[in-house]
Structure 1
Amino acid sequence: MKRQLKKVTSVCLGAILAASLTACGGNSAQQEPAVSAPVQNEQTTEEQKATESMESQASADVQESLWDLSGEITITAWNSSYTAIVEGADRFMEMHPEAKITVEQVADNTKLFTQLTTGTGVPDIMQFQNRDDLTAFDKYAGSFLDISDLMAKYEKDLVPAVIPLLKDGDTWLAAPWDVAPAMLFYRTDIFEECGVNPEDIKTWDDYIEAGKVINEKTNGKTKIMGFDYNGTSSFDMPLIIFYEQGGSFFDESGNVQFNSDAVTTAFGIFQKMIDEDIAMNLPNEWTDRITALANDSLCTVPYGVWFAGTLKENLADQAGKWSCIPLPAVEEGGNNQVNSGGSTVMVSSSTKYPELCKGFIEWFFLSTEGSRINMEVSTLFDAYMPAYTDESYTKTDEYFGMSPAALAAQLCEEIPDLPFPAYFTDIGQIFQSDAVGPVFVDGKDMDSVLTEATDKAQKQLEFLRNE
C-alpha cells in the first residue's frame, strides 16, 4: 500500500509492529517577554504559529549552512515511530524542496537483517531497537556510516544511559530516537476506593502491601500486577526490577551470568507477588493485559513512558482514572530509574547522500522542533534533553490529570547504563525460555535453573562470537 502525504511517499511493508517494538519537548532557548508590552501570560494562536514558523526557518538556515540537503533517501521505521517520521519528513521537505524522502513502514527488522547480510537494498536511514545496536555493530561491521562529526557535539544533550549504545569504541554509528523512562501507571479510582495512598509506595515491599489491600477490598477481583509467568510472550516485568539494580546478563569479563544477585532479587520479588495472590498470569502478556485493564482485573502497570499512549489508544473510556508516579525501589532510597524500551537510527555506509541523512537526523532527532513532532504526533519521548522544557512535554495530559512526559523528564538522568552488549537479544531469548517459566510455572529450584540456563547461553554466545 502506498499513500502520498504531501511530498512524502510512504510504503507499508508489514503489519503494525508488536508491542515489544513500541516502546522520550520547549525550546532550549526560552523566549523572554517583551519588556515594554503589557503582561500577557499566554501567546495567541497566531503568535504560536509565528514562533514555530521562525523556529522552522532558523532550523532550515542552520541546516543549509552545515549540510548539502539535496538528494533522495529512504528511511525505514515501525509503528508509531513511522507515523511521526512521516510527518517530520513532510515538514523537512517543505523547508528543503531539493530533498526527497521516502518513508517505508516495516513490522520489524527481519528484512533489514537480510539486506545488511547481502549488502543490497539497504535503506539510507534505518530504525533499530536500542538493545540491538551493539550486536549490529559487530555482526554487520562496516555497514554503518561514521556520524561522529554530527553526534559528538550533542553528547551533553542526550540522556546519558543511551550514549554507550550509540558508539563502537569512540566512533558514533547511531543517533538516539526515543527512550523510555519507566514509571508506575495506576488507577486512581481503584486506589481511592481501596484506601491506598500512592505516595506511600516507595519500595516493592510497599507495592506488595498495597496489592494485598486492593485484593482484599475488591474480594480478589483486582490484582496489582500482571505478567506472563511462563515468559513466552514477554519477560519485561521482571526485567524492570533487574535493570533497576543495574543488572546485566554479562559479567565484567563478558561472560553470561544469569545467576546474579540482580536476577535472584527480581525473581524473588515476583515470586512473592504470586505467593501473596496479588499477581495474575497473562499468558499473552500484551493482549491479556489490555483485557485485564479494561475489566478492572488489573490496576497498575510499571512500564516505559510510551505506555501512556497505549492506555489512551486502547482504553479511552478510562480517561481521568489514571495517573503516574515514580517506580518503587528495591530498598527505600534506592535507585528507581529504569529505561524500558527505546530506539535509535543508523545511516548506511553505502548511502549516496550522507549529508542529507545527517542533516535530517540533526533536524528531526536533535532539535526541539523535531522532538515536538515526535511527542505531539506519536507520544514518543526523545533522548534529546533540551526539548524537555517544551510545552509539548510539560502540558497537562487530561487523560492523566498530569504530564507523564514531564515525570519522565525527571526520571532519566540517573538511569543505569543500558546493559545491552553484543548478542544481548540472542542471550535474552535463552533467559526468557529457560529461566522464567521453570521458576514461576514449574516451581524448580531457582539457583539450579539459572546455572543451567547460564551454561546453555554461554555456549551460544561463544558460537555467535566465532560465527
Structure 2
Amino acid sequence: MSTQPDTTSASSPTPISRRSFLKTTAASTLFAAGGLGLAACGQSAPATTGGKSLSGEIVIWDRSGDLFQVFDATIASFNKKYPDIKVKHVAVDVDAKLPSTLTTGVNVPDGAFYEDNNLPVLSSHYYDITDWIQPYVKDIVPFKLQVNTHNGRILGVPWDLDPGLLFYREDLLQKVSIDPKTLETYDDLIAASHTLQDKLGPKVKPIHLEQDPGLTQLWVNMFANQQGVSMVDKDGKLQIDSPQYLNIMNFLKKVRDEGIGTRAVYQSPGDVAALDGGLEIFNPWAVWAVYGPELLLKKTKGLWRAMSLPAWTKGGSRGAVMGGSSFIIPKKAKNPHLAWLYYEHLVFSPDGYQAVYGPNKIYPGGLNTSLPSYTPALSKQLYQNSDGLGKQNLWETVTGTVKDISGNYVYPSWYNQAIPYFGANIQRLLDGQMTPQEVLTKSANDIQTKLIARS
C-alpha cells in the first residue's frame, strides 16, 4: 500500500510514519504476506538541468518495505533514458536519519522521500527546484504545490495525493433502505447512523471516531481542508479557533453524545473487529483506508464501497486531502541535478508514474492507496478496480474529488509538536472532559505560548 500518514501520539515525542504506524496493528502480518510525456512538455534533460553532465551516481533514500520495492522497480525505466546515471537506492528510516544528516551535512543523500507534514521543519536544507519544476507547475494539484512551497520557492517534488472519501457498508445500507446518494452532508450522515442503529440494534455505532491523538489531528485537518482552512494561514496566523474547526468539534461531540460512534485506533484489532462485525459502518478517511477492505477485513471483504465525503453545508465542497508525501533534494547533495532527473522521471513521466501506480510485481492490481498529484497522470486509469470494494472503480471515484480539493493549505513547522495539545484535546472532547469551544481555545493558547512564541 501507499505509506501511511505521519502521526505522533501524545505520549510519543517523535513522529511515527504511516508505514510504522501500521506495523503496530494486524496490518503488518497481512502485509508481509503479501499523460504528458517529457517530450510533450518541451523539456530535454540538458534544458532542465542547466546543461550539466548526465552521468554520475545518485544516492536515493526511501523507507524499507512496499514503496521501496515499487520505487526500486522504476530505476530500470529511468536508466533506459539515462544509462550513465547510476542510482544507489538505499532503504533507511528516513524520519530518524534525515534530520541529523541534513543538519550535520555528513553523508547527505541526493534525494529522499519525506512526509508532507514534516517538510517545513527542514526546509532551509532543501535544494531550490523552482526553476526546474516550472514546466510542470500548472499541472500539479494546487494543494501539493502549496505544501512544497516555502517563502515563495518550491523546495520539494510533489508526489502522492491522498484524497478523503467516505467508506461505507453497501449491504447494510441496502438492508435498511438508505441510498448512499442521500448522504450529501454530515447531518445526513448522522441521520443515517440513527436509522442504522434503530434497525440493526443498539450495539451498532456506525461512525468511526479516531482514538489516536496523532491520527486524530490529521483526520480533523482533512475536515478543515474540506472547508478551505488549515491550522495556520499563509502568513502563519493560527486558524484553529475558527468557525470551520468549531463545525468539526460540534460534529464529533454530537456523534459521541448521541452514541453513534465507534471509538478506536485506525485499523487496530478493535477497529477491524467492529468493521468486520457490522458495528462500524461509516469511515470518513483518506483513500488509503482501502487497505482495510483489501487486506484486513475477512468477513466483509467486497461489501464495502467508497464515495465522496459528505459536505459541511448542502452543496458545499466534498473534496479534501488527508496526509501525503513528497521528495526532497538536499542543498548539500553531490549531484542535485541528477537527482532531479530521477524524480522528474518518477513523477512527471508516463513511464515513471505508470511503473509506480500500475500493475507490477509488488501490487498485481496496481497501487490504489493514493493518487499521483500530477494531473496528466489522472487522465487514464492506472490501477485496477478494487476487490475489497466489490470491484468498484475506486480510481473514478477518487479522481472525481480532486477538482474540489482546496489548495489553501499550510503545514506549520510545529505540526507534530502540536499533537500533545490539539490532538490530545480532541480526545478529551471525546472523553466528555472538554467542550468544542474549550478544545479550540485551549489548543490555540497552548500552541501560541508553548510552540510559536518559543520558536
TM bucket normalised to smaller: 0.7 to 0.9
**What is the letter of the counterpart of residue 404 of structure 2?**
E
Question: Residue 412 and residue 15 in structure 1: after superposition, are their counterparts in 2 closer, same or farther (change >3 A)?
Answer: closer
The CA distance in 2 between the partners of 1:283 and 1:357, in whole Å, is 38
Query: What does 1:327-342 correspond to in 2, within 5 Å?
Result: 327-342=309-324
Question: Residue 354 and residue 302 in structure 1: after superposition, are their counterparts in 2 closer, same or farther (change >3 A)?
Answer: same
Match of 1:445 among 424, 435, 442: 435
The CA distance in 1 between the partners of 2:208 and 2:120, in whole Å, is 31
Question: Residue 415 and residue 229 in structure 1: after superposition, are their counterparts in 2 closer, same or farther (change >3 A)?
Answer: same
2:187 matches 1:205 = yes
Give structure 1 stretches of 5+ with no counterpart: 1-13, 30-54
**What is the letter of the counterpart of residue 123 of structure 1?**
P
Shift of 1:58: 9.9
Question: Residue 316 and residue 101 in structure 1: after superposition, are their counterparts in 2 closer, same or farther (change >3 A)?
Answer: farther
Match of 1:116 among 85, 88, 102: 102
2:304 matches 1:326 = no
The equivalent residue for 1:10 is none
Give 3-state SS (helix, strand or coil) of 1:272's partner: helix
TM score, norm. by length of structure 2 = 0.82
Query: What does 1:281-360 correspond to in 2, within 5 Å?
Result: 281-283=263-265, 286-315=268-297, 318-360=300-342
Shift of 1:296: 2.6
Answer whether contact 2:168 2:304 (CA < 8 A) is retained. Answer: yes
**What is the letter of the counterpart of residue 257 of structure 2?**
D
Query: What does 1:166-177 correspond to in 2, within 5 Å?
Result: 166-177=148-159
**What is the letter of the counterpart of residue 245 of structure 1?**
Q
Query: What does 1:18-167 correspond to in 2, within 5 Å?
Result: 18-19=21-22, 27-28=35-36, 62-63=44-45, 68-78=53-63, 79-137=65-123, 141=124, 143-167=125-149
Question: Residue 291 and residue 124 in structure 1: after superposition, are their counterparts in 2 closer, same or farther (change >3 A)?
Answer: farther
The equivalent residue for 1:391 is 381
The CA distance in 2 between the partners of 1:105 and 1:313, in whole Å, is 24
Match of 1:17 among 11, 17, 20: 20
2:407 matches 1:422 = no
Deviations 1:7-44 (A, max 9, x none): xxxxxxx995324999xxxx348xxxxxxxxxxxxxxx
**What is the letter of the counterpart of residue 154 of structure 2?**
W
Coordinate RMSD, CA, aligned: 3.0
Question: Residue 16 and residue 440 in structure 1: after superposition, are their counterparts in 2 closer, same or farther (change >3 A)?
Answer: closer
Question: Residue 432 and residue 279 in structure 1: after superposition, are their counterparts in 2 closer, same or farther (change >3 A)?
Answer: same
Question: Residue 369 and residue 284 in structure 1: after superposition, are their counterparts in 2 closer, same or farther (change >3 A)?
Answer: closer
| Comparing 315-324 and 261-270, the one that deviates more | 315-324
Deviations 1:86-114 (A, max 9, x none): 11124323553322223233445122111
Answer whether contact 1:184 1:325 (CA < 8 A) is retained. Answer: yes
The CA distance in 2 between the partners of 1:185 and 1:349, in whole Å, is 41
Answer whether contact 2:102 2:330 (CA < 8 A) is retained. Answer: no
Question: Residue 354 and residue 236 in structure 1: after superposition, are their counterparts in 2 closer, same or farther (change >3 A)?
Answer: closer
**What is the letter of the counterpart of residue 289 of structure 1?**
D
Match of 1:192 among 174, 193, 199: 174
2:257 matches 1:244 = no
**What is the letter of the counterpart of residue 176 of structure 2?**
C
Give 3-state SS (helix, strand or coil) of 2:244's partner: helix
Question: Residue 230 and residue 381 in structure 1: after superposition, are their counterparts in 2 closer, same or farther (change >3 A)?
Answer: closer
| Comparing 297-306 and 76-85, the one that deviates more | 76-85
**What is the letter of the counterpart of residue 421 of structure 1?**
P
Answer whether contact 2:116 2:325 (CA < 8 A) is retained. Answer: yes
The CA distance in 2 between the partners of 1:451 and 1:427, in whole Å, is 14
The CA distance in 2 between the partners of 1:329 and 1:316, in whole Å, is 31
Give 3-state SS (helix, strand or coil) of 1:423's partner: coil
Q: What is the number of residues matched between the two proteins?
A: 415
The CA distance in 1 between the partners of 2:148 and 2:18, in whole Å, is 28
The CA distance in 2 between the partners of 1:357 and 1:294, in whole Å, is 44
The CA distance in 1 between the partners of 2:90 and 2:234, in whole Å, is 39
The CA distance in 2 between the partners of 1:324 and 1:205, in whole Å, is 18
Query: In percent, how many aligned pairs have the same letter?
Result: 22
| Comparing 456-465 and 408-417, the one that deviates more | 456-465
Answer whether contact 2:426 2:439 (CA < 8 A) is retained. Answer: no
Question: Residue 440 and residue 66 in structure 1: after superposition, are their counterparts in 2 closer, same or farther (change >3 A)?
Answer: closer
Shift of 1:337: 0.9
Shift of 1:411: 1.0
The equivalent residue for 2:7 is none
Shift of 1:120: 1.5
Question: Residue 287 and residue 174 in structure 1: after superposition, are their counterparts in 2 closer, same or farther (change >3 A)?
Answer: farther
Give structure 2 stretches of 5+ with no counterpart: 1-16, 28-34
Give 3-state SS (helix, strand or coil) of 1:234's partner: helix
Question: Residue 296 and residue 180 in structure 1: after superposition, are their counterparts in 2 closer, same or farther (change >3 A)?
Answer: same
Shift of 1:323: 1.5
**What is the letter of the counterpart of residue 197 of structure 1?**
D
The CA distance in 1 between the partners of 2:386 and 2:218, in whole Å, is 26
Question: Residue 267 and residue 15 in structure 1: after superposition, are their counterparts in 2 closer, same or farther (change >3 A)?
Answer: closer
Answer whether contact 2:214 2:419 (CA < 8 A) is retained. Answer: no
The CA distance in 1 between the partners of 2:210 and 2:316, in whole Å, is 26
Deviations 1:231-288 (A, max 9, x none): 3663444333232212322357634343221221101111111122210111576443
TM score, norm. by length of structure 1 = 0.80
Deviations 1:52-105 (A, max 9, x none): xxx9x999x954775544222222223543232111124323553322223233
Shift of 1:326: 0.8
